[in-house]
Amino acid sequence: MRIWFDVLTPKQVMFFRRAVAFLQEKGHDVLCTSRDYREPVELARMKGLKLEIVGRHGGSERYGKLVASAERTRALADVVSGFSPDVAATFSSPEGARVAFGLGIRHVGFNDSPHATAVARLTVPLMSRLLCPQAIPVSAWTGFGISARSITRYRALDPAAWLKGEKPRTGSSGRKTALVRLEESKASYLADGKLSSSALVDAAVDELSRHADVLILCRYSDQMEEAKQKYGDKARIVEGVFDGVPLLKTADLFIGAGGTMSAEAALLGVPTVSIAPVRYHVEDYLVKTGLVGRTRDPRTLSRLVKKMLDDEKFRAAHARKAARLLASMEDPVKKMTAAMLRDHKL
C-alpha cells in the first residue's frame, strides 16, 4: 500500500511520525510532503522524519496565502500523481485535500480546530473520513458539509499520540521556570480578525519575571525579533526550533496563547494557563477537567500564576490528575492507522 502524508506544522510532525514509522515497518511505501516553513522542517529533521518540500508558507495576508496555496497545489499535483498513493493523510491541509480530491485519492483527514473555519471549509467537505478527539461534538463538523457517518472520534486529545509512555515531568531545580508560548499570529482565524494576546503576554512576563526564570517560545522569526525588543530584559527568548516535550518536562508553569502546547503541558502535569484570544473545544474540555486555567484578565492571570507556582498541594494534585487522564486516553495512532488500512480493506 502507498500512503501519502502532508505534514505542515510542528504538531503534525509529532502527530504523524509514529504512524509513518509503523506503516514503514509493516512494509508500506510512505511519502511525506511539507512546505518551506521553519518550525516543522527543522523539527522533522530533529525527529528523523524525512520530508519532501513542496511549496512555501503564505504568511499572514490573504493574497499571500492564496498565491502560495495555488502554487503549492500545482506543484503537489505533480509530486503526488507520480507517487500514486492509495490513501492520503492530512491534518486539514487545503492543498492536500484539493490534490487528493482532484486525483481521486481516498483522504483520511484529521482536525481538532473547528474554530479555524477557513481551513475547515476548504478541507472537511473533501475528506473521505474525518478523525477528531471525542471532546469535539459531531455537530461542530457537519455544518462544513461532511456527513456524521464519515466522522470517527477517538477517546483522547491529539497530544496523546506522542505523550503516552512519556516519563513524568521532573520540574526545574532551584528557581522555578515558566514557559510562555506566543500565538499563531499568521493563522487566518487570528490574522483576519486582528485578534491578539499581546497585552496579556505583557502582563504575564511582567508578573512571572518576579517569581521565575521566563522562557518565551516564538513561532516566527519576526515574532522572535519583536519579543527580544519587548522582553529581552525580563525573559530569555528561545531561538531556533525546539522539541516542546523536554522543555515542558522541566517547566513549573506554562502560559499558552495557542492550543497544542497548552494541551501538551496540561497532560504532562504542568500547571497551565490559557490566554488564547479564541475559545477551543479542546481547551474547554481541559478547563472542565481542572487541568487548565483560562483568563483574559491581567489581575486573574496574576492570581493564577502565584497559586500555580507556590501552592505545592495544588501542584501535586494537579500532576496526579494529569497522569490519570493521560493514562485513560486511547492511542490516536492506533485509530489513525486502522482508519487508513480498514478503509482500503487491506
Domain boundaries, the chain: 2-164+331-343, 177-328
Give the residues across from 213 on adjacent strands: 177
Q: Contact, 107 vs 101, CB < 8 A? A: yes
Across the chain, the runs of DSSP E, i.e. the strands, are 2-6, 29-36, 52-56, 87-90, 106-110, 129-133, 151-154, 177-181, 213-217, 236-238, 253-256, 272-274, 292-294
Among candidate residues 29, 326, 338, the one with its CA nearest the CA of residue 167: 326
Note the pLDDT of residue 172: 65
CA atoms of 179 and 200, how far apart (whole Å):
14
Q: Contact, 230 vs 214, CB < 8 A? A: no
Mean pLDDT of each 10-residue bin along the chain, 346 residues long: 96 97 97 94 95 93 94 98 98 98 98 95 98 98 97 97 84 83 70 69 89 89 88 88 90 91 96 91 96 92 91 94 96 95 60
Note the pLDDT of residue 191: 62
Note the pLDDT of residue 211: 86
Place of cell 497522569: 323
Q: Which CATH number fits domain 2-164+331-343: 2.40.50.140, 3.30.420.40, 3.30.70.1140, 3.40.50.2000?
A: 3.40.50.2000
The amino acid at 125: P
Note the pLDDT of residue 50: 97
CATH 3.60.15.10, applies to 177-328:
no
Place of cell 518536562: 249
Note the pLDDT of residue 193: 54
Predicted TM-score (pTM) of the model is 0.91
- 2-164+331-343 against 177-328: fold identical: yes
Note the pLDDT of residue 187: 63
